[in-house]
Amino acid sequence: MSDAIKHECGIALIRLLKPLSYYQEKYGTVLYGINKLYLLMEKQHNRGQDGAGIATIKLDVKPGNRYISRYRSMAPNAVADIFEYVQKKFATVQRAYPDRFTDSQWLKDNVSFTGEVLMGHLRYGTHGKNSIESCHPFLRQNNWMTRNLVIAGNFNMTNVDELLEQLYELGQHPKEKADTVTVLEKIGHFLDAENQELFDRFKQK
């Protein structure tokens, strides 16, 4: 963090390689990942002048259970506001189910923000309006698990109009003319196409 801070957003990404039970046994808490995400984002809090957001993804979740959690904030101290919101959720669970709070599998099955993939973003806005809708991560939801998409970035695009026109020609109708929405829908189109190709191939067998 010795580089001079310019017009740049902050990004943090964590992928836990062990099951949550490992972190409970070694560090005494299932919240190892979310605690590390907080530290990584707090080190970059000067970049989050215009809001922040986090998202977590649970892996290998059974159908019928939520696996993506997201929260964004435009509070003056957005990072602290986000993690206060998350910690309140865990505190409520701990009060209601004290004997379950060390049960990593139960927490993963029943409590949000207990995923193995964690992403954080601190927004330093250079274009577009300041609103909660401009805060990353952006989420593209679908009932098919492999068609869901969560992205956060640090970029300014110069060919948004051209990319939007391509999406229109494909039959899409993006909800907003913005860099991140355009990237989200562009990637999402190819994600949908690849999923459909695999579905058609295996359906024939």
Instruction: Decide if pLDDT at 113 tops 80.
Output: yes
Instruction: Decide if pLDDT at 5 tops 60.
Output: no
Give me the pLDDT at residue 180, please: 72
CA distance 199 to 203: 6
Instruction: Decide if pLDDT at 57 tops 60.
Output: yes
Burial (0-12, 13-18, 19+ Cβ within 10 Å), 82? buried
Report the 10 Å Cβ neighbour count for 86. Answer: 19
DSSP letter at 53 equals E
CA angle 85, 87, 89 (to 5 degrees): 75
Instruction: Decide if pLDDT at 112 tops 60.
Output: yes
Instruction: Decide if pLDDT at 31 tops 90.
Output: yes
Give residue-wise pLDDT tens across range 172-183. 766 666 677 777
pTM of the full structure = 0.83
User: What percentage of the chain has pLDDT greater than the value 90?
Assistant: 56
Region 150-158 average pLDDT = 79
CA distance 180 to 18: 31
